[in-house]
A and B are shown apart, each in its own frame.
Chain A
Amino acid sequence: MNNSIVQLRNVVKRFDDVLAVEKMDLDIEEGTLVTLLGPSGCGKTTILRMIAGLEDCSEGDIYIKGKRVNDVPVHKRNLGMIFQDYALFPHKTIYDNVAFGLKYRDVSKAEIKKRVTRALETVRLPGVEFRKPAQLSGGQQQRIALARAIVIEPDVLLMDEPLSALDENLREEMRQEVDNLQSELGITTIFVTHDQREALSMSDNIIVMKDGLKQQEGGPEEVYDAPVNHFVADFLGHCNFYACRILGRENGLLKVEVADGKTLYSEHDEGWDVGKELELLVRAQKIEVVARGDTIPDTEVNIFDGIVKSRMYMGGEAWYFVELQDGTVVHAISISREFPFRDKDAVTLHIPPRHCRLIPKET
């Protein structure tokens, strides 16, 4: 056996006739933060709820610490769960909320008091013991929810879109906080989100899901830089996609022909046959935009001239939609400090071969 603390084997979930989760296998290693990422309705929350025991699985087995838990009721699983709406008990004080889980464990009154106080310190909210949840802000309520879940020292912490109810700035702050707390306590965490930035910034491992199926599993860089299909690429960020065909190999690079006759070179080569039809993808952030006439050092390939068709100022970054001579529009995001190009400016694009990825053609 490996050191997986949570394992799913062939787990299927059907709601009446709707297949919510299809043959899911999952191994979650102790001490890691794993994110289930996908659009709403992809089954990510259902998986979390099945691990928690709040839903039964229709087929398959779930193991926690090597023990099959399919028939273990929720309250015997020793898991901490954080809900999207915090779910703090509105009629109880913060102290009673945090102490709630300890009441059902063999913990003395004095010990409960000690552990509640410590948990509140951990989430940096000491001294709110005797307030009611409604007297706290959204971010504070989320911290209390966190304190309530970690105080019972759960085997696994399950978080169901815990940050989505917070506003942008607070979300950023809480994201860091959850991340710090997780690495500090070393608690295995399964995090469900539809926000790719949350997933990329926090996770040790990301599981991208769609329609109840696992699409890709891997570290943040892997999932972002080497997506296995169109969906994963698109979901994790801004991409340009072009249908293409393999022409051959030149100077150690794969030469592909894009639909309208342009040729590009890619470092990504999985030994495909010449003539194979694939899809070429380039992340918008990886495309270099320079003024026409400026030279791009060290390269002669994958250079295209175009005209800025429209642009968007996004604060930290600038989005350009560049129209090439043949009418293809390329989305490029530049994070330079200036915002140099205006509509109708003549520019040159460089698409580095190492950022050209090839994925199976969408059917």
Chain B
Amino acid sequence: MFKIKGWSLIRFYTILVYIWMFAPIAVVILLSFNPQQFGTFPMEGFSFKWYGDLFHNTTIIMAFKNSMILGSLTAILTTAIGIPAAMAFIRYEFPGKNTLNTLLLAPIMIPEVVLGVSLLLFLRWLQQPKSFLLLLIGHCVLTLPYVLLVVQARLVGIKRSYEEASLTLGAGPFQTFREVTLPLLTPAVMAGMLFSFSISFDDVTATLFWATAQSQTVPVKIFAMLRNNISPEINALGAVMIVLTVSIPLLAGYLARRFSRRLE
């Protein structure tokens, strides 16, 4: 007779957990290839129809463009701010350092709703209209902590003696940063950028508060579409989003590992 051992139970249970976690995602991807209007199983045929519709839906293409531009700008800005900030926190002593560091990391702890509302209220107080700039600033606030954490962690691992050697050899502080610190920091900078991009790319909660009609992002657009009707286009869009948001962090991790291995 088949004997059920403790370990096979655990294995069975683990498989169930994974199914529970990934089945909805798998269904979305599968149904996106279903030609019928209402997704049912078993699927009757296979087509790229909804992907085709997707590429002809101008508002979605607009939203996609917005998301890409927003994500890229957020990634560039946060690394531009994050690298010098991380340098300051790790390499220099100044009063109020710990407080400031906690403050910069706080957006991770604060619920996004609170962040969303407060930035909006702040804008009201400044008597400024909602705009793409607001969205960009908001996303930078959201993603900066992640960039900071990644870059700081790497910076701690870069021995001071590299920089000191460079200084004693005659390179000034800026040249030392450009020639020694930054190249050694590259994996973290890449990872930080990709993190920043993917967080910005799939943020819903805060973005709902900040987005205007012109500056809708893909997740916000999906949310809006879901309220009106359940079109299979959403499945296709969902599949695209899933592939993008899963592959980017994976790529980030891979790049980080490859670069750091090459440096050793």
Residues of A within 8 A of B159 (CB): 85, 87
6 extra interface residue pairs, beta carbon distance < 8 Å, beyond A75-B167, A84-B161, A90-B184: A75-B170, A78-B170, A89-B162, A90-B263, A90-B264, A91-B183
Given contacts A83-B164, A83-B165, A89-B180, contact A134 B171 (CB under 8 A): no
| B170 lies within 8 A of A152 (CB) | yes
B166 within 8 A of A: yes
Query: Bound complex: CA of A100 vs CA of B164, how far in Å?
Result: 13
Query: Bound complex: CA of A133 vs CA of B170, how far in Å?
Result: 20
| B183 lies within 8 A of A87 (CB) | no
| B180 lies within 8 A of A54 (CB) | no
B175 within 8 A of A: yes
Residues of B within 8 A of A89 (CB): 162, 165-166, 179-180
Which of A74, A80, A83, A104 has the most chain B CB atoms closer than 10 A to its own CB? A74
In the assembled complex, the CB of A161 is this many whole angstroms from the nearest CB of chain B, namely 12
Give the nearest-CB partner of B162 in chain A: A87
| B171 lies within 8 A of A91 (CB) | no
Which of B161, B170, B180, B263 has the most chain A CB atoms closer than 10 A to its own CB? B170
Q: How many residues of B contact A (CB 8 A)?
A: 21
Residues of A within 8 A of B176 (CB): 75
Given contacts A90-B184, A90-B264, A91-B183, contact A105 B164 (CB under 8 A): no
Interface band, chain A: 20 to 34
Given contacts A85-B161, A87-B162, contact A134 B264 (CB under 8 A): yes
22 examples of A-B residue contacts, CB within 8 angstroms: A52-B168, A73-B167, A75-B169, A75-B171, A76-B170, A77-B168, A81-B165, A84-B161, A87-B161, A87-B162, A89-B166, A89-B180, A101-B169, A104-B169, A104-B171, A105-B170, A134-B264, A148-B165, A149-B168, A149-B169, A152-B170, A158-B168
In the assembled complex, the CB of B258 is this many whole angstroms from the nearest CB of chain A, namely 13
Query: Bound complex: CA of A83 vs CA of B163, how far in Å?
Result: 11
Which of A89, A134, A148, A152 has the most chain B CB atoms closer than 10 A to its own CB? A89
A79 within 8 A of B: yes
Give the nearest-CB partner of B186 in chain A: A91
Query: Bound complex: CA of A89 vs CA of B176, how far in Å?
Result: 11
Q: Which of B211-264 contact A (CB under 8 A)?
A: 263-264
B52 within 8 A of A: no
Give the nearest-CB partner of A49 in chain B: B164
- Chain A residues in contact with chain B, CB under 8 A? 52-54, 73-81, 83-85, 87-91, 100-101, 103-105, 134, 148-149, 152, 158
Given contacts A89-B180, A90-B184, contact A101 B162 (CB under 8 A): no
Query: Bound complex: CA of A104 vs CA of B170, how far in Å?
Result: 6
| A91 lies within 8 A of B161 (CB) | no
Partner of A100, one of B171, B173, B263: B171
| B164 lies within 8 A of A87 (CB) | yes
In the assembled complex, the CB of A133 is this many whole angstroms from the nearest CB of chain B, namely 10
Give the nearest-CB partner of A104 in chain B: B170
B172 within 8 A of A: yes
| B170 lies within 8 A of A83 (CB) | no
Given contacts A83-B161, A90-B263, A91-B263, contact A101 B167 (CB under 8 A): no
Give the nearest-CB partner of A154 in chain B: B168
Residues of B within 8 A of A52 (CB): 164, 168
Which of A75, A80, A105, A134 has the most chain B CB atoms closer than 10 A to its own CB? A75
Rank and list the top 6 A-B pairs by shortest CB-CB distance, nearest first.
Answer: A101-B169, A104-B170, A87-B161, A87-B165, A81-B168, A74-B167
Residues of A within 8 A of B173 (CB): 75
| A80 lies within 8 A of B168 (CB) | yes
Residues of B within 8 A of A134 (CB): 264
In the assembled complex, the CB of B189 is this many whole angstroms from the nearest CB of chain A, namely 13
Query: Bound complex: CA of A104 vs CA of B169, how far in Å?
Result: 8
| B175 lies within 8 A of A104 (CB) | yes
Query: Bound complex: CA of A73 vs CA of B167, how far in Å?
Result: 9
Given contacts A75-B171, A89-B180, contact A54 B263 (CB under 8 A): no
In the assembled complex, the CB of A356 is this many whole angstroms from the nearest CB of chain B, namely 45
In the assembled complex, the CB of A148 is this many whole angstroms from the nearest CB of chain B, namely 7
In the assembled complex, the CB of A62 is this many whole angstroms from the nearest CB of chain B, namely 15
Q: Which of B124-180 contact A (CB under 8 A)?
A: 159, 161-162, 164-173, 175-176, 179-180
Give the nearest-CB partner of B168 in chain A: A81
Residues of B within 8 A of A90 (CB): 162, 184, 263-264
Residues of A within 8 A of B164 (CB): 52, 54, 74, 81, 83, 87
In the assembled complex, the CB of B178 is this many whole angstroms from the nearest CB of chain A, namely 12
Residues of A within 8 A of B161 (CB): 83-85, 87
Partner of A79, one of B162, B168, B172, B183: B168
| B166 lies within 8 A of A54 (CB) | no
Query: Bound complex: CA of A78 vs CA of B167, how far in Å?
Result: 10
Query: Bound complex: CA of A101 vs CA of B161, how far in Å?
Result: 15
Residues of A within 8 A of B167 (CB): 53-54, 73-75
Query: Bound complex: CA of A73 vs CA of B172, how far in Å?
Result: 9
In the assembled complex, the CB of A64 is this many whole angstroms from the nearest CB of chain B, namely 13
